Amino acid sequence: MPDFVPHTQHDIGEMLSFLGLESTEDLFAVVPPAIRLAGGLDLPMGISEADVTEQLYSIGAMNASVGVGGSGLVCFAGGGSYDHEVPAVTRALAGRSEFVTAYTPYQPEVAQGVLQALFEYQTFISRITGLEISNSSLYDGSAALVEGVNLAVAESGDSRVIVSSGVHPRWRGVLETFAAGTGHQLEVVPLNNGLTDWASVEGTNAGCVVVGYPNYLGAIESLSSARELADRLGALLVVCQDPVAAGLLKSPGELGADVVVGEAQAFGTALSFGGPYLGFFACHHRLVRRLPGRLVGETVDLDDKRSYVTTLRAREQDIRREKASSNVCTNETLMAVTAAIQLGWLGTQGIREIALAGARAARYGLQRLTEIPGVQPSCTAPIFREFSVKLPIPASLAIDRLLDEGYLAGIALLDGFEGTPYEGDLLIAFTERRTKSEIDSFADALTKVITR
Amino acid sequence: MSDLFDRPAAGSAKSAPLVGDDCEPTLFEFASPGRRAYSLRTTGIPEWTATELIPAEHLREDPLELTEVSERDLVGHFTRLAHRQYSVDLGAYPLGSCTMKYNPKTCDEAAGMRSFAGVHPETPAHAVQGWMQILVELEEALCTITGMAAATLQPAAGAAGELTGLLLMRAYHAANDDVRTRVIIPDSAHGTNPASVTLGGYEVTTVGSDDRGFVDVDQLRAALGTDVAGIMLTNPNTLGLFEEDIVEIAKMVHEVGGLLYYDGANLNPILGVVRPGDMGFDIVNMNLHKTFATPHGGGGPGAGPVAVSKRLVEFLPGPRPVRSNDRESTFELLFPPKSIGRVHSYYGNALVLLRAWTYIRLNGADGLRRIADMAVLNANWLREQLRGTYDFPYDRPVMHECVVSVSGLKRATGMRALDVAKRLLEFGFHSPTVYFPLIVDEALMIEPTETESPETVAAIARALIEIAHEALASASAGEALRSAQAPRSTPVRRVDEARAARKLVSTFDAR
C-alpha cells in the first residue's frame, strides 16, 4: 500500500521516548478499555495506487457516461445538469493545487488568490442575476433555494411559501425536507400550458413566491406576473434562474426579483453524477445582513494595498451561533473559482453565443422531433433551450431503449409531476455542444424506438 | 525544546518565491472589446436570430457584459492568483479541527475519470451500476469505521450533515409521538452545531465544561429531561481531549429518551481505535474533506455523510443506493419507508465520495489505524515541545490536536494569539486556528495531522518558541513587538477588516 505517513520506525521510537511512552498503543490510554476496538477495523488491507486504478477502471466501465467523439452517450438530458463545453484551460487552471488544496480563507494575507477569484465570481453572478450582492457559493441549486426561502421568510416574518410547480422537482423535494425543521408552509402552484397559474393562488399574504426562469419544463415564465403576485401578498420574489439564459434573457433583478438562486454547474463543472455542483445566491443590497454563506469584500492592507477578505462575518454561524443567518460553513469554493475561470473564457460574446446556440438547437430539435408521428410538445409556451414532449410510449421506456442506441434521451417527468398533464412526458435539453447531425440521428433513433 | 529532527523541514514554504509586490488587477480591468478566448463546436444548425427564437419582451436590450480577455491572459491571471494562495501542497497547514492533511493525487485522478465525472445524475440506475457500487461500498466502509448500521451520503458538507442528523432526530421522536424541544450542546462545540439546531426547529441548551475540559456531567444531568431530543458532541472534543465519561453520558441521555449525535469533525485520531457506535452514539456525521483527505478546495466542496444506528435506518434520506436481489442489476435505489426526504438534489457530492472511496481502498484497515497513531503522536509531541513556553489550560494528553493559550505571554508582552498566528506565516507555515474553542483565552488550536514529518512538526514548534522568546526579549527591552507588524513577507499585509464591512465592496461594479 502507499504510505502517506512519513514517520520511520526510528522517528516513532524517538518521539515515543520523548513522551515517555513505550508504544503507540499508550497514546490511547485515555480511551476507556471497554469501548476500544479489539482486532482492528473489519476492512481489507491497503493496496497500491496501481491496484486501485485497475479497480476503478473496471468499476467505471459499468457506468454509461456522456462522451466525446462517439466514445459515450450523446446527452439530451438537462434538468439543471447540462453537457456544456469545458475547455482544457478551465480544467488546467481549476485543477491547480493552490486552489484545490487550500482551506477556507481564514488568513487573508496568504489567501488572496482564492479571495480575489471569489470577488470576481461574485461580480459575474451579480451581473448575471441583475442584483447587487452575490455570496461566494452554496452547495447546489437546491441548497441555494432553501436558503433563499429561509431569507425571505425571515425578512417578511411570514412562513407561507408559494412555490411554482415549474421549480425543479428535486429542489422542491429538498425544500420540503428542510421545512420539517423550520415549519414553513409550502403551497405548490400548478402549471397551465407550461406556465405557472398564479391566478389560482388565494389569500392576502405570504412570505415568499418562488418561480423558475426558465422553469423546469424549459418555458420562459413572466416574472412581471410573479412580481405582481408577490406585491399583492406582501411577499419577497425568489427566482430560480438558469444562469446560461442570462446571455439572452432579461435579468431577474431587472424584472423585480428580491433574491435569485440557481445551479451554476453549467459554468465549467462536469456532470459529476450530480455533485459537487455550484449553488449561486444573489440578493438586493437591502437584504445583505441576512445573506447566507460567505461574502468577500475589497479593502486595503496596512500599506494601503488593495486586498480582499471575507466580510460581514457577524452573520455567520461561528460568531452568531444559534442566531446565525444560516448554518453554512464549507461551501463550494472550488466550483465558484472554476465558474470564474469559465466565465472569463466565455466572456461577453461567449455567454451570448452559448445561450443562442442552445436556443437554436432546441428550436431545431423541436422541429425535428415533432415531425415524428405521435410526438407532440407538452405545451406551447415560449421556451429557451429545453422542452418536454408527449410520446406514444412511456418516456422511461424510450430512455432505456435510446441508451442502447447511444443517447441519453432526457428525463422522464415522474417525481414531482404526479397527477399533472405533464406526467410521463420526456424533458429534452440542448446546449451549444449539440450539432445538427446529432439531432437528426437522435430523431431517427427516437422514431425507431417508438415504432418498435 | 528537543533538538531532535533538526533537519530541513519539507513542510515549510519559507522558500516559496513570490515575484514582485504589485496587486493583481481583476479580470474586468484586463477587458479589451473584441478580445476573446472561447471557441465552440461547429453545429450546422440554422442560425436563427434571437428574436426569431424568443419573444422580444423576454430578450435583454444590452449585452450581458462579463469580460473580454485572451486565453493567454486568462491563464496568466489565474496562475498569478494561484501564486498568491497558500495550500497544503505548498506547506504545513496546522489549522486546528480542520485536519488539513496531504490529499493523494491519485484520488483527484479518479475524480477526473470520464467514466465517473461524465455521468449525468438522471441516467437510469441500471446504467450507472459502477457509481452505485462505489456509493454502496463507501457507505459500508464508513459504517464499519464508525460502528453504525447504515448511512446517507447525501449531505454536501458537515453543516448539512448536522441538519440532516437533527431532522432524523425529529422524525424518530415524531414517529414515537414524542414531542421534544431542546438539544444540548457543550460550550466547546463548533459554531455550526447551534446554528443547525435552530434550523432543525429546536432550542439550544448549553452545558459547560469541567476543570478537566470535559463535558460537565453534573451540569448535563441537571439539563437533561424528557423534553431533550438529544445531545451533539464531538469526541475527541475541540480541546483535542477524549471525553472519558462518554459511556456514562450516553447512558444518561438514553435514559431520558434522547439521542446522541456525533460531530465527526475530529474523527481522524480514532480510526481503528474506537468507534462512535461503540461509545453509544445514534447519529454520526463525518467530514470526508477532513478525515478522508478529500481536498478542501479553498472552502469546499466537502461531503458530510451521516451514519445511524439500526433504529434510525428507516428514516434515512432517499433515494438510497442499496444491494439488490434483482437479476438485472446488482444495485438499486430505495426510498426508506419513513424517510425524512431528500437532503440533496441527487446522491451528494459524488466526486468527493469517489475520492474518499479511493483513499479508504489505498489505506485499508492497516493504513487507517496508522493514520490515527501518527496524528496523535504528532499532536502530543508538538504539545510537549511547547510546554513551558505557552500555557496549557487543560494539561492532559491529547488526541489529534492541542489547544495552548497565549494569555501568559500576552500579560508579559502584549502579544496576542492573533499576532502569533500572523508571525508564524513568516516562518513558512499556515497559522493554527485562533480564538477557538471559545472557552480558552487567547487560544491557539494546533492540528499537525499525520502527514507532516517529525522534522516539519519540530520546525513548527521551534518557530512558535522563537516567536515567544522574541516577544519576551522585545518586552524587556521596551521595544515594539515584531509579531504585531507580521506578516511582512506575504502578498499583502494585515488587512483592514473593519473597512471591508463598513464600506462594502463585494463586486467590481461596487467600487
Domain ranges of chain A: 9-50, 74-86+348-450, 91-340
Q: Are B188 and B401 in contact (CB under 8 A)?
A: no
- To the nearest whole angstrom, how far is the Cα of A162 from the nearest Cα of chain B? 20
Identify whether residues B371 and B479 lie together within a single domain. Answer: yes
> How big is the A-B interface in CB pairs under 8 Å?
710
Q: What is the mean pLDDT of chain A?
A: 96
A422-425's contacts with Cβ under 8 Å and 24+ in sequence apart are: A422/A191, A422/A217, A422/A378, A422/A379, A422/A388, A424/A390, A424/A394, A424/A395, A425/A378, A425/A388, A425/A389, A425/A390, A425/A391, A425/A395
Question: Within a domain: residue B487?
Answer: yes
Residue A210 bridge partners (DSSP):
A163, A238
The residue of chain B nearest to residue A355, with distances taken between CA atoms, is: B50
What single letter denotes the amino acid at residue A364?
A: Y
Residue of B66, B167, B272 with shortest CB distance to A40: B272
What pLDDT sits at residue B57?
A: 97
SS3 labels along B430-477: CCCEECCCCCCCCEEEECCCCCCCHHHHHHHHHHHHHHHHHHHHHHHH
User: CA-CA distance, B372 to A421, in Å (whole number)?
Assistant: 57
Which letter does DSSP use for residue A138 in this model? B
The Cβ-side half-sphere exposure at B348, using a 13 Å CA radius, reads: 36
Question: Within a domain: residue B59?
Answer: no
Contact B362 A49 (CB under 8 A): yes
User: CA-CA distance, B368 to B360, in Å (whole number)?
Assistant: 8
Identify whether residues B476 and B344 lie together within a single domain. Answer: no
Is the CA virtual torsion B123, B124, B130, B135 positive or negative? positive
Which residues are CB-neighbours of A159 under 8 A, at least 6 positions away? Answer: A153, A182, A183, A184, A185, A207
First to last CA, chain A: 52
Containing A411, the helix (H) or strand (E) segment is: strand A411-412
Identify whether residues B308 and B432 lie together within a single domain. Answer: no
Chain-centre distance for alpha carbon B495: 24
Identify whether residues B356 and B380 lie together within a single domain. Answer: no
Identify whether residues B302 and B417 lie together within a single domain. Answer: no
Contact A301 B28 (CB under 8 A): no
CATH superfamily of A74-86+348-450: Aspartate Aminotransferase, domain 1 (3.90.1150.10)
The string of pLDDT tens digits covering residues A303-316 is 999 999 999 988 77
Other CB atoms within a 10 A radius of the CB of residue A69 amount to 5
User: CA-CA distance, B156 to B305, in Å (whole number)?
Assistant: 8
- The string of DSSP codes covering A326-346 is ----S--HHHHHHHHHHHHHH
Residue B233 bridge partners (DSSP):
B262
Containing A185, the helix (H) or strand (E) segment is: strand A185-189
Task: Tell me which residue has cell 480510526.
Answer: B271
What pLDDT sits at residue B188?
A: 85
User: CA-CA distance, B298 to A345, in Å (whole number)?
Assistant: 21
Identify whether residues B303 and B386 lie together within a single domain. Answer: no
Q: Is residue A325 pLDDT above 80, yes or no? A: no
Q: Mutating which of B1, B86, B331 best tests the A interface, going by the most A Cβ atoms within 10 A?
A: B86
Other CB atoms within a 10 A radius of the CB of residue A180 amount to 17
Question: Within a domain: residue B413?
Answer: yes
Identify whether residues B188 and B302 lie together within a single domain. Answer: yes
Q: Are B81 and B25 in contact (CB under 8 A)?
A: no
Question: Within a domain: residue B33?
Answer: no
Closest among A343, A150, A149 to A243, alpha carbons compared:
A343
Which letter does DSSP use for residue A198 in this model? G
What pLDDT sits at residue B17?
A: 63
The string of pLDDT tens digits covering residues A133-168 is 999 999 999 999 999 999 999 999 999 999 999 999
Residue count of chain A, please give it.
452
Q: Report residue A132 as a C-alpha cell.
A: 447587487
Question: Within a domain: residue B81?
Answer: no
Residues of chain B found within 8 Å of residue A364, distances taken between Cβ atoms? 45-46
The residue of chain A nearest to residue B145, with distances taken between CA atoms, is: A41
Residue A280 bridge partners (DSSP):
A262
What single letter denotes the amino acid at residue B118?
A: G
Question: Could you give the residue ranges of the DSSP H alpha helices within B224-336?
Answer: 246-255, 276-279
Q: Look at residues B328, B361, B394 and tell me which one is the last residue of a structural domain.
A: B361
pLDDT grade, residue A70 (50/70/90)?
confident
User: CA-CA distance, B455 to B275, in Å (whole number)?
Assistant: 31
Q: Report residue A178 as a C-alpha cell.
A: 428542510
Q: Mutating which of B492, B494, B496, B509 best tests the A interface, going by the most A Cβ atoms within 10 A?
A: B492
Across B73-158, where does the E strand assignment appear? Answer: 150-152
Q: Report residue A105 as a C-alpha cell.
A: 480563507
Identify whether residues B372 and B328 lie together within a single domain. Answer: no
User: CA-CA distance, B454 to A235, in Å (whole number)?
Assistant: 59
Domain containing B426 equals: 365-500
Task: Tell me which residue has cell 469517489.
Answer: B354
A91-340 topology per CATH: Aspartate Aminotransferase; domain 2 (3.40.640)
Identify whether residues B250 and B293 lie together within a single domain. Answer: yes
What pLDDT sits at residue A2?
A: 78
Contact B36 A177 (CB under 8 A): no
What pLDDT sits at residue B384?
A: 97
The string of pLDDT tens digits covering residues A195-239 is 999 999 999 999 999 999 999 999 999 999 999 999 999 999 999
- To the nearest whole angstrom, how far is the Cα of B252 from the nearest Cα of chain A? 17
Question: Within a domain: residue B21?
Answer: no
Q: Are A274 and A82 in contact (CB under 8 A)?
A: no
Residue of A182, A276, A399 with shortest CB distance to B349: A276
Identify whether residues B347 and B376 lie together within a single domain. Answer: no
| SS3 state of residue B331 | strand
User: CA-CA distance, B261 to B243, in Å (whole number)?
Assistant: 14
Q: Look at residues B361, B396, B421 and tell me which one is the last residue of a structural domain.
A: B361
Q: Look at residues B361, B385, B408 and tell me which one is the last residue of a structural domain.
A: B361
User: CA-CA distance, B461 to B465, in Å (whole number)?
Assistant: 6
First to last CA, chain B: 50
Residue A386 bridge partners (DSSP):
A429
Give per-10-residue mean pLDDT for chain B (511 aa). Answer: 75 73 92 95 98 98 97 96 96 96 97 98 97 98 98 96 97 97 92 90 95 95 97 95 96 98 95 98 97 96 98 97 84 96 98 98 97 98 97 96 97 98 97 94 97 97 98 97 95 96 97 92
Q: Which CATH number goes with the domain that contains B140?
A: 3.40.640.10
The string of pLDDT tens digits covering residues B218-272 is 999 999 999 999 999 999 999 999 999 999 999 999 999 999 999 998 999 999 9
Burial class (CB in 10 A: 0-12, 13-18, 19+), B383: buried
Domain count, chain B: 2
User: CA-CA distance, A308 to A301, in Å (whole number)?
Assistant: 9
Identify whether residues B372 and B355 lie together within a single domain. Answer: no
